Amino acid sequence: MDKKIEVAVIIGSDSDLPVVSETLKLFDKFKVSYSINVASAHRTPSLVKDCVQQAVSKGVKVFIAAAGMSAALPGVVASETILPVIGIPIDGKNLSSMDALFSIAQMPPSIPVACVSIGKAGAVNAAVLALQILALNNASVAEQLVEYKKNVAAAIIEKNEKLNKIGYVKYIEEMKK
């Protein structure tokens, strides 16, 4: 049998990969196994179904689906599984990405998709949410998440101290460097 995976990531287009790389970086950091596939809900629906079925056969616990424009992919993935699905709305120029956000957030009853924020922040949040789901049954992931969140908080505290020490004008100047 093929290698077990914990999270299956499906993107609607290869142009989504730079955004979704933020998700993958966190999985690499946490040493969480994942798969990544390009499959379009509209152009290759049978491939989407195959990706879901293959991931389930490899023991996946969570799906992440990223899509822009009409963003049907997360909903189609959710229609093919009982496992949790997290949707990332990809930022784009059309309709200020609101079409993707609404398509993922406004799912019909009984086909839930957890919707995160648009773009790179959403990609990070999708990874963290998936890790939180995995942490329910994985003490190592849970411990790493506690440490990760402590580090995020520490970075904010450090920025606050620097801001108060040097003032906002110099702080902004340094941000531009």
User: pTM (2 decimals)?
Assistant: 0.93
Q: What's the first-to-final CA gap in the chain, in angstroms?
A: 50
Assess whether pLDDT exceeds 70 at residue 1: no
Assess whether pLDDT exceeds 80 at residue 117: yes
Average pLDDT value for residue range 59-75: 95
pLDDT of residue 2: 59
pLDDT digits (tens, 9 = 90+) for 118-156: 999 999 999 999 999 999 999 999 999 999 999 999 999
Nearest to 32 by CA among 164, 137, 167: 137
- Extents of the domains making up the chain: 7-137, 139-177
Q: Measured between alpha carbons, how far is 21 from 27 in angstroms, rounded to an integer?
A: 10
Q: Which residues of 116-126 are buried (b: 16+ CB within 10 A; e: fewer)?
A: bebbbebbbbb
Average pLDDT of the residues of the chain: 95
Distances (CA, A) of 151 to 55, 77, 82: 32, 33, 34
Assess whether pLDDT exceeds 50 at residue 61: yes
- Collapsed DSSP state (helix, strand, coil) of residue 65: strand
Burial grade of 138 (CB within 10 A; 0-12, 13-18, 19 or more): middle
CB of 63 within 8 A of CB of 45?
no
Domain 7-137: give its CATH code. Answer: 3.40.50.1970
